[in-house]
Amino acid sequence: MEIGIDSFAASPNNKMGEAKAIQQLLERIELADQVGLNYFGIGEHHRKDFLDSAPAIILAAAAAKTKNIRLGSAVTVLSASDPVRVFQNYATLDLISGGRAEIVAGRGSFTDAFPLFGLNLQDYNELFEEKLDLLLKIRENEIVNWSGKFRPALNNQAIYPRPLQKKLPIWVGVGGTPASFARAGKLGLPLMVAIIGGETHRFKPLIDIYKEAGRNAGFTESELKVGMHSIGFIGKTKQDAISTFYPSYKEMFDKIGKERGFPPVSKAGFDAQNGPTGALMVGEPNEIAEKIWRHSESLGGLKRVTFQMDAVSEHMHLMKSIELIGNTIAPLLKNKN
């Protein structure tokens, strides 16, 4: 099982400058590489809260500071992007990093990109399907012939650069709709499931839909890889982790909840989500390693697990959490394999 970190490059809350925040993010990616983590993903948002509107640039800077860790998106908002530019950006990242680039293509949980780029939110699903089709064609073919509804056709168009890897890895990031799981399975693409609430085992029927669709399309079980993106934070003790994480988690999700009409986060609700079968992974290393393993067994086996810790703003707390994940949790999981 691969272990990694996903970050949305949280913007500072009047405590430090944005330039410093980006430099600290790069330090965290460098540390993740040093402690042996497998993956670091940068999200994509187009709002004041986050600094990740151009993730490939952040990842390219990280590539120059790292040696082994794989670098990719979490998630590329493909519905609002030009697949040609997405491919070019990540192929270039692949060349810079020596073959360590990946893409997690999804639709995103915020809608800010649609008005920003002049797109109709009602076309949400159609845009993603069409652009994913084009992205996959570009990956397979240096010379592309393609036509669609939302983008001008490509006629015998060469697209460069080509990545160092023979086949640039493209995952599909999904939330909770059965159609999204089935689509990824039909295409035989690895699946990254964002599980940020509820009980993790409830996603098993959706993963079963993905695997059945993949098998029916002729793909093998080994090709149908599943990863899990979850909110988490690691401390030396469970109480240390919760006392550091909960206040900022509540602040972040209360703000999002106010925008979307959700009730405020309660401590009781947080504790339930952080229980044995809940989605949150906030605690000490041994406990969280066991929880990850239980999640993997309940979901039929996980290829990758990534922690999203951006609710915490203090750089040193995040650095210590990354150290604990790399030096303690990863070896514990490796020993179980």
Neighbours of 39 (CB within 10 A): 22
Q: What is the CATH number of the domain that holds 163?
A: 3.20.20.30
- What local confidence, expressed as pLDDT, does residue 15 receive? 61
* pLDDT tens for each residue of the chain, 337 residues long: 999 999 999 988 666 689 999 999 999 999 999 999 999 999 999 999 899 999 999 999 999 999 999 999 999 999 999 999 999 999 999 999 999 999 999 987 788 899 999 999 889 899 999 999 999 999 999 999 999 999 999 999 999 999 999 999 999 999 889 999 999 999 999 999 999 999 999 999 999 999 999 999 999 999 999 999 999 999 999 999 999 999 999 999 998 889 888 899 999 999 999 999 999 999 999 999 999 999 999 999 999 999 999 999 899 999 999 999 999 999 999 887 6
**Considering its fold, how many domains does the chain have in total?**
1
Q: Which two tokens stand for residue 81?
A: 């992007």
Given the DSSP bridges, would you call strands 281-283 and 226-234 parallel, antiparallel or unpaired? parallel
Residues 6+ apart with CB under 8 A from 140: none
> Is 140 within 8 Å of 187 (Cβ atoms)?
no
- What local confidence, expressed as pLDDT, does residue 8 receive? 94
- What local confidence, expressed as pLDDT, does residue 110 receive? 82
> Is 148 within 8 Å of 82 (Cβ atoms)?
no
d(Cα 78, Cα 93) in Å, to the nearest integer?
17
Comparing CA positions, the residue from 201, 208, 326 lying closest to residue 191 is 208
Residues 6+ apart with CB under 8 A from 102: 39, 70, 71, 72, 73, 90, 168, 169, 170, 171
Which run of H or E residues covers position 173? Answer: strand 170-174
- What local confidence, expressed as pLDDT, does residue 14 receive? 60
d(Cα 150, Cα 131) in Å, to the nearest integer?
9
> Is 248 within 8 Å of 213 (Cβ atoms)?
no
Comparing CA positions, the residue from 34, 249, 50 lying closest to residue 42 is 50
Neighbours of 243 (CB within 10 A): 11
The boundaries of the domain holding residue 232 are 2-336
296-319: burial string, b at 16+ Cβ within 10 Å, e else: bebbeebbbbbbbbbbbbebebbe
Q: Which two tokens stand for residue 314?
A: 């203090």
> Is 70 within 8 Å of 39 (Cβ atoms)?
yes
Place of tokens 């001008």: 152
Which run of H or E residues covers position 305? Answer: strand 304-308
d(Cα 251, Cα 264) in Å, to the nearest integer?
9
Calculate Rg over the CA atoms of the chain. Answer: 19
